[in-house]
Structures are given as C-alpha cells and as structure tokens.
C-alpha cells in the first residue's frame, strides 16, 4: 500500500500469493532473522526490509514476520542528495566497469558505485559529483608560489652552474674525454695526471692506475691466449685423431690375427714336398687336396684383408682430410659441400670404433631421406657426429645394456632469417641429470671415468658448431631415461648456374 493514499501500489511482488522459491530471504523469514536490501520491481527499485514480530520489549519468540518496502523515486534521490549536500544521480546498472570507479578532473570528482539486489545482481549505480573548489584555490596558491620559487631557483641555478662548472664539470669533462680517447685509440699508455687532491683528483689517479693494470693484464692475456690457443687446438686435434685411429688399430689387429692364422707355412711345406716327389700316389693326392683347401682359405683371407684395407684407406683418408681442414682453418672458411644427411651419418659411422658400432643400432627415420641434399661443412659436421655417436655408445654401456638404439631425425627450419639444419640424436642410455644439461659442453667436464675421458669431446663439438654459426644443446628426462643432442647448423644457399655458364 501507499501509506499516503492507502492504495495498492500494484507491485508484481505483492501480486504473488507467496514469495518465489528462489527468494534469498526465505531462510531468514523461516528462522525469524531480520534482513534488508534492494529489489527491482515493475514500479522501480524497492528498498525492502523484513523483521520478526516481537513483544513490546523486543523479545521473542517471533510471532510472524513483517515485510515492508519503499520505492526509491527521483524525489527520494534528490532528498538524499540534499541531506548529503552533494550532487547525486541514479544511473542504470552496468554504467561502469566493476563495482566502484573514481574519475577525477580539474573541476569535479565523480564517484560511481554499483549496488546489488537481494539476489546479488547489479540493480543500480549511484554517481556523486563533488566540485573541487578547494583544489582550484590551492592550485592558484601553488601557481603563485611556484613563480616565486622558479625565480629564486633561476638565480641559485646560475650561481651553482658557475661553481659546478669550475670545480666539477670541467675536471669531469677532462676525465671523460680521456676515457673516450682510451676507447677510440686503444692507447693504454696515456695518463691524466690532474694533480688535484680532491675526489676528482683521486678518481683520476685511480683511473690511471687501473689503465696501467689493464695494459699489463692485456699483455699477459695476449701471451697466454696465444699459448692456450695452440694447446686447445692440439688437444682437439689429438682427440679427433684418437677417435679416428682407434678403428684403424682394431682392424689392423684383426687383419694381423687372420694373416697369422692363414695356413701359408703348411701350404709352402706341401708345395715343397710335391716338388720333391711324394713317396706314394696316395700321399700326393692328399697333398694336392690339402693345397686346394689351403688356397681356398687363403683366398678368403685375402678378400677379407682387402675389405679391411679399403675401410682403413677410407679412415686414413678421413684423417688426412681432417688434418688438411685443420691446416686451412686458420686461413680459409670451412669448405661447404653438398651432402645427403643419410650419407653423412654413414660416413660418420665408418670412423667410429667397432666396439661402439656393435653396441649401437643407429635408426635413421624418413626425415633424413626426405631432406635430400644440403650444403654444409661436411668434414667438420662428420667429426661432430662421430663424437655424438661415440658418446651415445658410452652412455648405453654406462646404463648396463648390451645394445642400445640411437634414433636420428632431421628437419629444415628457419631461424634468424637463415635456413638451418636441425639434427636430433636420441639414445636410450644412462641419461643426463638436469643440473648437467648445460655443463656437459663445458671444458673439462665429463660424467665418465677420467682415465678414459677428458671432457673435451662435447666441448670441442660446441666450439666447432659455434664456429659454423650454429648451436648445440642437450635434453634429457633424467638419469636412466636417455638423452637427446640437438644440432642447429646453418645451411648454405644453393648455387645457381646459368645455362651459358654451364655450357
């Protein structure tokens, strides 16, 4: 009812015989607890309150619940604004982002706040406009004070600049020009010698002393770098030559054993006996049969020896190529050759020791064959692949396995506006701990026995890859779960030859 006219307001809430089942206050009314809130109706926003019916002293038990409300009209909003002495405006919900918002300008400060209904949904937004009169007057006072301060500051600044220029800026400019001259001329023999006793003088003397120490250190560093470069170069060459010589030594030992076991002495004795004349015909027939069998065995030994000699010839050629590449590395760029990745892996396997090849099954997938021909530094890359294959075989051995699998895959990617060859070698060996994934490429670091490993294989690989403009990194899921070695090598552009030039 309207308390003034005592007429029904026609609210949709009052038209119901009972409150909706989802009405949030049903529990409050059942338990006799008071509540208040806002509720949107067909006549506008209703300020709603419910309280239990108690005795005259405000005691219980509750004898019912009283539900009362008042529509929030425009006149009510103006009345609230007059009481608060502020400009209050009722807005629709969703006028702002979030529940509260503060917008400040030079003339007014606007505060927005969104209120929820009893269902917890936004029902209205109130805006309060507060004129910034105090701020306007304060700004005027600040402006006047600022003008006075600026005038005084200009006078003080002129005096400070004069003093600073004489005592600090000019000496600092001298020090700065000296430092720039050192950087541009790389002449570490010049000195400042300001002859001052203040802080700038101390700085100048310390700078001269530091330059003297840098000059001495640079001289020592150049000398040590010269010696260390030769030592590092020799170590890398010896390591690669050792890897290449090992299979040659194994095959030489095998060839020597086969030649020692060949029946050459017995065959010579049989020939001598036949030439001297056999005692009887049966003895002569036996000697001839023995010679036929011995010749067959010697022929097999010779054929096997030819295979070993051919393999050792290729391995020796690889050593000679590596030495020639090393000799020219200080003068020329690496030789770029067209090569198939499958052939590159096969060539690398040829210079791997037999013990490593017998321990590994190298599984090359279709990605290598689909790549076709790529232009890379074949000689250097072959030595890198050899080191990786040997490391994979040793990882399988350290894992306690008789035989392991090395899976090789490849793809062409584009990085830094260059085409790159991405090679991945994944073994099922002992794996790499997470803290050692980057250290495996450090000089002197190795997870194997120091008697057989010196920690220069992967270090040399990293240096060689960096010299080619690529990079190498390791990945592993942990000890006992294998490891992956990733190589990223720049691929040279294909050479195009015109028809006239080809002719």
| pLDDT tens-digit readout, 407-420 | 999 999 988 788 99
| pLDDT tens-digit readout, 96-143 | 888 888 888 877 888 888 888 888 888 888 888 888 777 778 888 988
Q: How far apart are alpha carbons 112 and 91 in whole angstroms?
A: 9
Lowest mean pLDDT among 128-137, 190-199, 215-224: 215-224
Q: Residue 123, SS3?
A: strand
Q: How far apart are alpha carbons 255 and 315 in whole angstroms?
A: 15
Q: How far apart are alpha carbons 407 and 477 in whole angstroms?
A: 16
- Confirm if 481 and 431 have CB atoms less than 8 A apart: yes
Average pLDDT over residues 259-274: 76
Average pLDDT, the chain: 80
> Hey, what are 180's tokens?
């720039």
- Confirm if 343 and 382 have CB atoms less than 8 A apart: no
Comparing 285 with 233, the larger pLDDT belongs to 285
Residue 484 pLDDT grade (very low, low, confident, very high; cuts 50, 70, 90) = very high
> Hey, what are 491's tokens?
């691929």
Q: How far apart are alpha carbons 357 and 362 in whole angstroms?
A: 8
- Confirm if 188 and 161 have CB atoms less than 8 A apart: no
Phi, psi of 427 (to 5 degrees): -110, 170
Count CB neighbours of 390 within 10 A.
21
Q: How far apart are alpha carbons 342 and 364 in whole angstroms?
A: 8
Residue 475 pLDDT grade (very low, low, confident, very high; cuts 50, 70, 90) = very high
Q: Which of 93, 91, 97 is closest to 116 using CA atoms?
A: 93
Q: Tell me which range, 26-30, 240-244, 338-342, is most confidently predicted by mean pLDDT.
A: 338-342
| pLDDT tens-digit readout, 53-110 | 887 777 777 777 888 888 888 888 888 888 888 888 888 887 788 888 888 887 788 8
- What pLDDT does residue 329 have? 56
What per-residue string of b and e applies to 467-490 under the rule 16 or more CB within 10 Å gives b? ebebebebebeeeeebbbbebbbb
Phi, psi of 85 (to 5 degrees): 55, 50
| pLDDT tens-digit readout, 423-448 | 999 999 999 988 888 888 887 777 66
- Give me the torsion for CA of 152, 153, 159, 163, rounded to 10°: 150
- What pLDDT does residue 187 have? 56
| pLDDT tens-digit readout, 142-162 | 889 999 999 999 999 999 988
- What pLDDT does residue 229 have? 57
Count CB neighbours of 443 within 10 A.
14
Average pLDDT over residues 37-43: 85
Q: Which of 401, 474, 392, 461 is closest to 433 using CA atoms?
A: 474
Q: How far apart are alpha carbons 480 and 486 in whole angstroms?
A: 19
| pLDDT at residue 233 is higher than 80 | no
| pLDDT at residue 454 is higher than 60 | no
């Amino acid at each position: 009812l309207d308390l003034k006219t005592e007429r029904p307001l026609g609210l949709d809430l009052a038209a119901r015989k009972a409150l909706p089942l989802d009405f949030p206050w049903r529990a409050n009314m059942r338990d006799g607890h008071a509540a208040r809130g806002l509720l949107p109706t067909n006549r506008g926003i209703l300020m709603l309150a419910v309280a239990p019916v108690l005795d005259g002293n405000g005691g219980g038990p509750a004898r019912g619940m009283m539900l009362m409300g008042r529509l929030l009209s425009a006149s009510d909003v103006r009345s609230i604004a007059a009481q608060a002495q502020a400009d209050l405006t009722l807005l629709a919900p969703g006028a702002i982002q979030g529940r509260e918002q503060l917008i400040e300008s030079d003339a007014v400060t606007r505060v927005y706040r969104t209120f929820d209904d009893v269902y917890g949904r936004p029902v209205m937004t109130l805006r309060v406009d507060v004129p910034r009169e105090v701020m306007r007057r304060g700004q005027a006072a600040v402006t006047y004070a600022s003008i006075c301060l600026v005038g005084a500051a200009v006078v003080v600044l002129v005096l400070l600049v004069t003093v600073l220029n004489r005592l600090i800026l000019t000496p600092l400019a001298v020090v700065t020009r000296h430092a720039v001259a050192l950087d541009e001329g790389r002449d570490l023999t010049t000195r400042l010698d300001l002859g001052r006793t203040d802080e700038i003088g101390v700085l100048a003397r310390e700078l001269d002393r530091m330059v003297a120490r840098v000059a001495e250190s640079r001289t020592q560093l150049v000398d040590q770098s010269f010696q260390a470069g030769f030592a590092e170069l020799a170590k890398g060459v010896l390591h690669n030559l050792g890897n290449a010589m090992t299979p040659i030594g194994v095959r030489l030992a095998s060839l020597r054993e086969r030649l020692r076991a060949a029946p050459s002495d017995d065959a010579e004795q049989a020939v001598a006996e036949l030439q001297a004349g056999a005692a009887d015909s049966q003895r002569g027939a036996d000697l001839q049969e023995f010679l036929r069998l011995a010749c067959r065995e010697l022929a097999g030994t010779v054929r096997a020896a030819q295979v070993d000699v051919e393999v050792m010839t290729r391995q020796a050629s690889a050593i000679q190529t590596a030495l020639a590449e090393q000799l020219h590395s200080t003068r020329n760029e690496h030789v770029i050759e067209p090569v198939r990745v499958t052939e590159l892996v096969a060539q690398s396997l040829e210079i791997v020791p037999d013990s490593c090849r017998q321990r590994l099954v190298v599984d090359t997938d279709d990605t290598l064959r689909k790549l076709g021909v790529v232009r890379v530094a074949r000689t250097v890359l072959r030595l890198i692949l050899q080191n990786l294959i040997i490391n994979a075989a040793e990882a399988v051995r350290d894992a306690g396995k008789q035989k392991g699998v090395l899976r090789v895959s490849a793809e062409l990617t584009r990085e830094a506006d260059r085409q790159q060859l991405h090679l991945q070698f994944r073994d099922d060996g002992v794996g790499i701990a997470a803290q050692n994934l980057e250290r495996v490429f450090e000089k002197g670091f190795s997870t194997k026995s120091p008697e057989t490993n010196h920690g220069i294989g992967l270090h040399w690989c990293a240096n060689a890859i960096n010299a080619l403009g690529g990079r190498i990194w390791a990945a592993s899921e942990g000890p006992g779960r294998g490891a992956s070695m990733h190589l990223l090598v720049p691929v040279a552009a294909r050479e195009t030859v015109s028809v006239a030039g080809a002719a």
